[in-house]
Structure 1
Amino acid sequence: MKGKYSRQVKTAVKLIWSSFDRDEIRRGYSILILEAQKGDADALAFIARCFMGEEYVWPQAGFKVDDANASKLMQKSAMMGSATGVLCAARSSNLTPSVERHMPFASFKEAFEEILGQAERGDAFCCYMVANVYFWGDYLRVEPDYAKQFKDENGYNAW
Structure 2
Amino acid sequence: MNLTLALGDITEQRVDAIVNAANSSLLGGGGVDGAIHRKGGPDILAECRALRAGHLGRGLPTGRAVATTAGRLPARWVIHTVGPVHSREEDRSALLASCYRESLRVADDVGARSVAFPAISTGVYGWPMADGARIAVETVRSAATSVAEVRFVLFDPPAYEAFAAAVARAH
TM-score by length of 1: 0.37
Q: Per residue, is there more helix in 1 or in 2? A: 1
Higher relative contact order (CA 8 A, sep 6+): 2
Structure 2 length as normaliser, TM-score?
A: 0.35
Larger-Rg structure: 1
